[in-house]
Amino acid sequence: MAQADTQREPPFRGRATIRDIADLAGVSIATVSRVLNDRPDVAPETRENVLQVVREQGFSTNRGARGLSSGRTGMIGLTLPLVADAYFGPMLSGASEALYERDMRIVLAPTFHDHDREMSLLDRLMRGTTDGAILMLPEESADELRMLQRQGFPFVVVDPREAPPEGIACVAAMHASGAKQATEHLLELGHRRIGAIAGAQGWYATEERLLGFRAALAGAGILLDPELIVYSDWRIPQGTQAAEQLLSLPDPPTAIFGFNDNVAIGALHAAHARGLSVPDDLSVVGFDDTEPAKIVTPQLTSVRQPLAEMGRMGVSLLVRLIEGQRVDALRVELATKLVVRDSTAPPRA
Amino acid sequence: MAQADTQREPPFRGRATIRDIADLAGVSIATVSRVLNDRPDVAPETRENVLQVVREQGFSTNRGARGLSSGRTGMIGLTLPLVADAYFGPMLSGASEALYERDMRIVLAPTFHDHDREMSLLDRLMRGTTDGAILMLPEESADELRMLQRQGFPFVVVDPREAPPEGIACVAAMHASGAKQATEHLLELGHRRIGAIAGAQGWYATEERLLGFRAALAGAGILLDPELIVYSDWRIPQGTQAAEQLLSLPDPPTAIFGFNDNVAIGALHAAHARGLSVPDDLSVVGFDDTEPAKIVTPQLTSVRQPLAEMGRMGVSLLVRLIEGQRVDALRVELATKLVVRDSTAPPRA
DNA sequence: CTGTTAGCGCTTTCAG
DNA sequence: CTGAAAGCGCTAACAG
């Protein structure tokens, strides 16, 4: 009772609702809604008036409520294996920038490489909280993805783990051409025996990069010695180990091509441990061009993947999907580019 | 008309709603809601029955709708300057893990160091979409934070930029003690002239670390030469520059304490450029112990900040705030710890 | 223990 | 061009 007039003007009992704005502006909530959604059928004067009040009150619409009534929440889900990662970070960053520009929000769902978790997350993302999703390096098989698609939930895969399934929106980097460039760079420097620390077997990126590697070698008329390819799991220690193996060969390579920066850095470590100087005794090139490539000594020559751009592109595709626009290019491949730094040089002697 | 029975069994016209579940289970929606929210007042048998149907349908509740009616969305907002960053990444990761465990989702809002953006983001986060927020290294002044608080929106600051304001939930690391440890380590090694590359002036972390640095020096009976402290902006190039300055002194330091890993790495670069060997000619220690510290050569001795743990702790505080529980310790300081690696050694001669 | 009944804040026909 | 009214899916009293 003596609770006083909390019901009065501006500082509402919580946050202003569309109804408060309507009252203040002396119009109906329908009109406010129209203004808020940029509908054309509002008198300019009315619109200005409403916007005025909206600004005064610092009002912005409750997405949950909007979602309920319109089916569109303005939020999109994003799953990715890891958040604290030099590889996924930039992708996430690019996606979040693009989303921000569209005034959309992102519901983050790290899977920590757990397939079940990813599935259940996805499942939950779909339940009205989110208009669509971006799946980065998803754990799902092509079949699972297709099933998801059949449920009518819009999503796009960024950086597919397996070969991108037909009919599913997907953005990837040009792995093969990047690998080819890297290998050719080594070849031009005069290297003839080039070892490769490939990624995990069966991964799309691994297979494609292998293709590019082989193509470059073939182009130089070099017959690939199978001993010179060793698979890894993309991580530094495995890279070190793989490099050890390569360098222990009776006829060791003079250059090593790591299929990502991690394994290349691992190779750097291995060289260091053997007292080999990079690039004088051994050239090393990486792939991805993540932050660490610029930090290690010597700075790593690496193939740049446009990670942030991949994130942005994923958003762009997804938004079109959500809006029901025709998407002609369901599959987008972004160019990669070799960045030469200090870890490559002509072979000794 | 011939649209047929989309209204029938399982595969609903979209996704099952609570009403569908109720029908299928032969109970009211209120009962389903009770089961879903783990209310005690449901007969075990009924509960099991409902859960059965829920599982069958792969149902999960629409958070938007829940938010509308209960005022709780199960989502929390998180602002941070950068997502793709060795420092913020782990914090974010820790927070997202903790949130996941509580079956809550995180709405990500990177500010890219833009104050206005952060404010508007925050403002939007508050509008019913989110139950509370975690602000990592917020741009807001103490006053702004207090204003926010007055609006009744629960939030906690993780890693405050300024000295943490009274009465605001806040988690930080023990900067001073970490800095003291690092300096003492150098002192024990025999260094007497120790340069510091401080962070940005006025930052809480800078001031506190400076305190620890001074305390350690004082403890060893060393009078601090003001020339030996140079401020930076936490980034690598600035670190390099600051180190140049320090090393150009008539009587240069034999060790440099970088107030974060970036500037310490910058110092490594500067040493390298001068042909100084680390740690033989110059010892370097960093702060934060981010990923790059382990990657550079030589590996960096650094003070570990429990970044992921800070994120988790932030969530834990926030959840208590949201649930209206009493929070006795509004201010949490997490311990830091020196990790000795290869960049520190006794001074030459 | 369970069902009924109001809304939560917003969008969207459908009438003026 | 604008308002009235009907929900979106769910929770929360309030009765039984």
Tens of pLDDT, residues B71-111: 888 899 999 999 999 999 999 999 999 999 998 989 999 99
> In this complex, do B68 and A62 lie within 8 Å of one another by their Cβ atoms?
yes
> In this complex, do A127 and B96 lie within 8 Å of one another by their Cβ atoms?
no
pLDDT band at A165 (very low <50, low <70, confident <90, very high): confident
Residues A101 and A148 in one domain: yes
Residues A119 and A211 in one domain: no
Spatial distance from the CA of A144 to the C1' of C13 (Å): 38
Residue A269 to residue A255: CA distance in whole angstroms = 14
| Protein residue nearest nucleotide C3, by CA to C1' | B28
Range of the domain at A59: 18-68
pLDDT of residue A149: 85
Residue B255 to residue B184: CA distance in whole angstroms = 12
Indicate yes or no: strand D within 7 A of the C-beta of A65.
Answer: yes
- Whether residue A253 has a cis bond before it, omega within 30° of 0: no
Predicted confidence (pLDDT) at residue B169 exceeds the cutoff of 60: yes
Instruction: Pick the last residue of a domain from A68, A83, A109.
Output: A68
| Both tokens assigned to A42 | 């509002």
Instruction: Pick the last residue of a domain from A32, A48, A68.
Output: A68
Predicted confidence (pLDDT) at residue A320 exceeds the cutoff of 50: yes
The 3-state DSSP class for residue B94 equals: helix
Give exposure, B316-333, as e/b (b: 16+ Cβ within 10 Å).
bbbbbbbeeeebeeebbb
The amino acid that residue A136 corresponds to is M
Instruction: Give the nucleotide at minimum CA-to-C1' distance from A16.
Output: C9
pLDDT of residue A1: 31
Type and span of the H or E element at A66: helix A63-70
pTM of the model: 0.91
> In this complex, do A105 and B107 lie within 8 Å of one another by their Cβ atoms?
yes
By CB atoms closer than 10 A (0-12, 13-18, 19+), residue A251 is exposed
Under 8 Å between Cβ of A240 and A270: yes
pLDDT tens for residues B230-245? Answer: 999 999 999 999 999 9
pLDDT of residue A6: 31
Residues A180 and A293 in one domain: yes
Q: B217 lies in a domain?
A: yes
Give A221 to chain B, closest Cα distance, Å. 36
Strands B301-304, B337-339: pairing kind: antiparallel
Residues A163 and A256 in one domain: no
CA torsion, ordered A316, A322, A326, A331, to nearest 10 deg: 50
- Whether residue B298 has a cis bond before it, omega within 30° of 0: yes
| Protein residue nearest nucleotide C13, by CA to C1' | A30
Q: A214 lies in a domain?
A: yes
Indicate yes or no: strand D within 7 A of the C-beta of B24.
Answer: no
Residues B238 and B273 in one domain: yes
Under 8 Å between Cβ of A173 and A234: no
Angle A282-A284-A285 from CA coordinates, rounded to 5°? 160
Q: A7 lies in a domain?
A: no
Residues β-bridged to residue B338: B303
pLDDT of residue A7: 31
Nearest residue on chain B to A266, judged by CA atoms? Answer: B295
Q: B8 lies in a domain?
A: no
Q: What is the mean pLDDT of chain B?
A: 91
Q: How far is CA B281 from CA A310, B176, B196, B316, in A?
A: 44, 27, 16, 45
Strand D and chain A: which residues 32-51 have CB closer than 7 Å?
Answer: 34, 40-47
* Test mutation, B126, B127, B305, chain A, max A CBs within 10 A: B127
pLDDT tens for residues A167-182? Answer: 999 999 999 999 999 9
Nearest residue on chain B to A290, judged by CA atoms? Answer: B84
> In this complex, do A110 and B90 lie within 8 Å of one another by their Cβ atoms?
no
Under 8 Å between Cβ of A339 and A303: yes
The amino acid that residue B184 corresponds to is E
pLDDT of residue A144: 87
CA torsion, ordered B122, B126, B132, B135, to nearest 10 deg: 0
Give B127 to chain A, closest Cα distance, Å. 5
The amino acid that residue B295 corresponds to is I
Q: How far is CA A349 from CA A188, A190, B272, in A?
A: 15, 10, 26
Residues A58 and A110 in one domain: no
* Test mutation, A105, A116, A312, chain B, max B CBs within 10 A: A105
Q: A349 lies in a domain?
A: no
Spatial distance from the CA of B69 to the C1' of D9 (Å): 9
The alpha carbon of residue B75 and the mean position of all alpha carbons in its chain are separated, in whole angstroms, by 17
| Residue (of B123, B149, B100, B235) closest to A291 by Cα position | B235
Residue A327 to residue A312: CA distance in whole angstroms = 16
| Residue (of A93, A107, A101) closest to B112 by Cα position | A93
Q: A13 lies in a domain?
A: no
Under 8 Å between Cβ of A92 and A134: no
Work out the average pLDDT over A212-231.
Answer: 97
pLDDT of residue B182: 98
Work out the average pLDDT over B155-180.
Answer: 95
Indicate yes or no: strand D within 7 A of the C-beta of A84.
Answer: no
Predicted confidence (pLDDT) at residue B190 exceeds the cutoff of 90: yes
Predicted confidence (pLDDT) at residue B23 exceeds the cutoff of 70: yes
What is the CB-side half-sphere exposure of residue B316 using CA atoms within 13 A?
13
Residues A313 and A301 in one domain: no
> In this complex, do A295 and B297 lie within 8 Å of one another by their Cβ atoms?
no
Residues B150 and B261 in one domain: no
| Both tokens assigned to A99 | 């989303």
Residue A183 to residue A89: CA distance in whole angstroms = 27
* Test mutation, A127, A236, A288, A341, chain B, max B CBs within 10 A: A127
Of chain A, the percentage scoring pLDDT greater than 90 comes to: 74
Type and span of the H or E element at A288: strand A283-288
| Both tokens assigned to A268 | 């750097």
pLDDT of residue B2: 33
pLDDT of residue A12: 53
Of chain B, the percentage scoring pLDDT greater than 70 comes to: 94
Residues B295 and B236 in one domain: yes
pLDDT of residue A8: 32
Q: What is the mean pLDDT of chain A?
A: 91
| Both tokens assigned to A90 | 């930039």
Q: Find the CATH number of the domain harbouring A45.
A: 1.10.260.40
| Residue (of B282, B236, B291, B227) closest to B259 by Cα position | B236
The 3-state DSSP class for residue A49 equals: helix
pLDDT of residue B331: 93
Phi/psi for B53 (5° steps) reads -65, -40
pLDDT tens for residues A8-50? Answer: 344 455 678 999 999 999 999 999 999 999 999 999 999 999 9
The number of domains in chain A is 3
More confident residue, A5 or A243: A243
Give B62-74 as a DSSP string: -HHHHHHHHS--S
pLDDT tens for residues B264-306? Answer: 999 999 999 999 999 999 999 999 999 999 999 999 999 999 9
Of residues A86, A108, A123, nearest to B58 (C-beta): A123
Cβ count within 10 A of residue A112? 14
Instruction: Pick the last residue of a domain from B37, B68, B99.
Output: B68
Residues B182 and B291 in one domain: yes
The alpha carbon of residue B149 and the mean position of all alpha carbons in its chain are separated, in whole angstroms, by 20
Under 8 Å between Cβ of A254 and A224: no
Indicate yes or no: strand D within 7 A of the C-beta of A64.
Answer: no
Residue B10 to residue B54: CA distance in whole angstroms = 11
Residues B89 and B57 in one domain: no
Type and span of the H or E element at A181: helix A175-189
| Both tokens assigned to B142 | 């103490």
Predicted confidence (pLDDT) at residue A94 exceeds the cutoff of 70: yes
Predicted confidence (pLDDT) at residue B5 exceeds the cutoff of 90: no
Q: Find the CATH number of the domain harbouring A209.
A: 3.40.50.2300
Strand order, beta sheet including B155-158: A331-334, A170-173, A155-158, A132-136, A75-80, A105-110, B105-110, B75-80, B132-136, B155-158, B170-173, B331-334
pLDDT of residue B35: 94
Contacts for A117 with CB less than 8 Å, ≥ 6 apart: A111, B100
Residues B145 and B234 in one domain: no
Residue A283 to residue A186: CA distance in whole angstroms = 8
Strands B301-304, A229-231: pairing kind: unpaired
* Chain B residues touching A89 at Cβ < 8 A: 83-85, 89
Segment among A4-13, A193-202, A261-270, B112-121 with least mean pLDDT:
A4-13
Under 8 Å between Cβ of A155 and A148: yes
DSSP 8-state class, residue A340: -
Strand D positions closer than 7 A to protein CB: 1-13
Residue B346 to residue B103: CA distance in whole angstroms = 50
Residue B332 to residue A67: CA distance in whole angstroms = 37
Q: B82 lies in a domain?
A: yes
Helix axes B261-273, B236-247, angle to 10 degrees: 50
Q: How far is CA A163 from CA A166, A320, B331, in A?
A: 9, 23, 49
The alpha carbon of residue A267 and the mean position of all alpha carbons in its chain are separated, in whole angstroms, by 25
Q: A180 lies in a domain?
A: yes
Tokens 């080999």 appear where? A276
